[in-house]
Structure 1
């Protein structure tokens, strides 16, 4: 009998506390229900649906091949105009005035490649020079300039007697670029600065030596052990890290060029493996 009054007192206290909390929420303005709050908020606007536009394909002509159109192909002898890149014109053999291949296939040197006549400027007109540096050349020219294998700069050379770069004569070789006597390829085209810094040779000596060979041909014949081309392209093909500006380190160590430094490093690695 003594437990019931305690329970009744607890219920009364609980109900009083609930009513007190509700009165406090009402005074703060928080007595709104969830449905009222949802009605206050603005609904999210859904994007309008696109209308499906039907196309009448029956009125559009269909694409058919010449075989289905029953059009006979052109004979082989008939001239067909084709698009050719500048690389094709540069590597194609010399042609006669009639348009046929000449009987005498002249081996064009790499420092005097063919030039597309459509892009040529008038010959004999001197080029404006920003500098007269013989090392790196002067002005970038995509038509008459020849790309160096190492620095890959297609610039006109700064040689005084070069008719190709000074007079824009495409039939003359560039005196500021080398040409290999064996391969006559782009691997043997080096400017004066890259030839000196990267391989330790002078341009005047290369011009006088008609049997000059590029680093790639020297590597293939094996006349110089551990001699390789140290351009970034060739080193990446060998999965080697490019040397960057290594001429200062090479000269501090007493080497003539970067190629001699690389040759010494390869020789030391080979000696360590043998030991």
Structure 2
């Protein structure tokens, strides 16, 4: 009985609040605004989908036709002399000649990237044409000629021994002219494998990661501040110390 009486009280209270709210809305004029808003929504027309107009293609002049369809030869093959045929074998046009320049530009690494003629340096991994004046490969485009601006290891003859002039000097403290005259020059990989020079290692990022060491980055300035000729000399001095197993950044700190 008490439960039914409680429900009746709730319903009466609810109806009282509803009537009060309606009276308040009527006094504010919200009923009229609500009716106007509903009529505005119902009177709106459905949204039309926009159509994309295709641009008209105007043909200027007569359309092109293939000579092959007309029964004519597509190109005229000119006979090549024996001398010009032999000269063109194994040759390509260097990148700097394609740009119409008169020289390759200066710089120890060269200035032009050429994925055909360029030989990749093991350290900087740049396939740029060298800036050497006597290089027939980078000057004339003869792919059968070696690049005189890159080193070549006499022990392994692999890509590990190919270094450009700048990387050879900055990273290992060697001059390209001296290396050219040496008939038994070996790359840092072969020197390390043969044990000729202790703690003399290749300091490229690839090789240092294989040794679980952090790459040095641009460390030539720090090496010269410490009085070393190159980055390899700095690393050799660091590896001789007891804490040589620490990473490069920990040793530098």
Unpaired stretches in structure 1, ≥5 consecutive residues: 1-7, 31-115
Residue 170 of structure 1: CA displacement? Answer: 1.3
Unpaired stretches in structure 2, ≥5 consecutive residues: 31-88, 247-253
Q: Paired residue for 1:246? A: 219
Q: Paired residue for 1:175? A: 148
Q: 1:149 aligns with which of 119, 122, 125?
A: 122
Residue 134 of structure 1: CA displacement? Answer: 3.9
- What is the alpha-carbon distance in structure 1 between the residues aligned to residue 8 and residue 112 of structure 2? 100
Q: Paired residue for 1:192? A: 165
Q: Paired residue for 2:18? A: 22
- What is the alpha-carbon distance in structure 2 between the residues aligned to residue 226 and residue 12 of structure 1? 97
- Residues 1:121 and 2:92 aligned together: yes
List aligned pairs for 1:198-209, cutoff 5 A. 198-209=171-182
Q: Paired residue for 2:139? A: 166
CA contact 1:250–1:256 (8 Å) conserved in 2? yes
Give the count of matched residue pairs.
177
Q: Which has the higher helix share?
A: 2
Q: Deviations over 1:72-111 (max 9, x none)?
A: xxxxxxxxxxxxxxxxxxxxxxxxxxxxxxxxxxxxxxxx
- What is the alpha-carbon distance in structure 1 between the residues aligned to residue 11 and residue 189 of structure 2? 99
CA contact 1:181–1:213 (8 Å) conserved in 2? yes
TM-score (norm 2): 0.62
- What is the alpha-carbon distance in structure 1 between the residues aligned to residue 174 and residue 121 of structure 2? 15
Q: Paired residue for 1:135? A: 108
CA contact 1:180–1:189 (8 Å) conserved in 2? yes
- What is the alpha-carbon distance in structure 2 between the residues aligned to residue 144 and residue 15 of structure 1? 93
Q: Paired residue for 1:45? A: none
Residue 17 of structure 1: CA displacement? Answer: 4.2
**Closer, same or farther: CA 240–11 of 1 in aligned 2, 3 Å:** closer
Secondary structure of 2:215's aligned partner: coil
Secondary structure of 2:221's aligned partner: helix
Residue 269 of structure 1: CA displacement? Answer: 2.9
- What is the alpha-carbon distance in structure 1 between the residues aligned to residue 159 and residue 108 of structure 2? 19
Q: CA RMSD in A?
A: 3.2
CA contact 1:159–1:175 (8 Å) conserved in 2? yes
Q: 1:223 aligns with which of 196, 206, 212?
A: 196
- What is the alpha-carbon distance in structure 1 between the residues aligned to residue 179 and residue 205 of structure 2? 23
- What is the alpha-carbon distance in structure 2 between the residues aligned to residue 11 and residue 213 of structure 1? 101
CA contact 1:126–1:168 (8 Å) conserved in 2? no
Residue 224 of structure 1: CA displacement? Answer: 1.1
TM-score (norm 1): 0.57
Q: Deviations over 1:132-160 (max 9, x none)?
A: 22411121001111000000000000001
- What is the alpha-carbon distance in structure 1 between the residues aligned to residue 231 and residue 148 of structure 2? 23
Residue 172 of structure 1: CA displacement? Answer: 1.3
CA contact 2:219–2:231 (8 Å) conserved in 1? yes
Q: Paired residue for 1:211? A: 184
**Closer, same or farther: CA 162–154 of 1 in aligned 2, 3 Å:** same
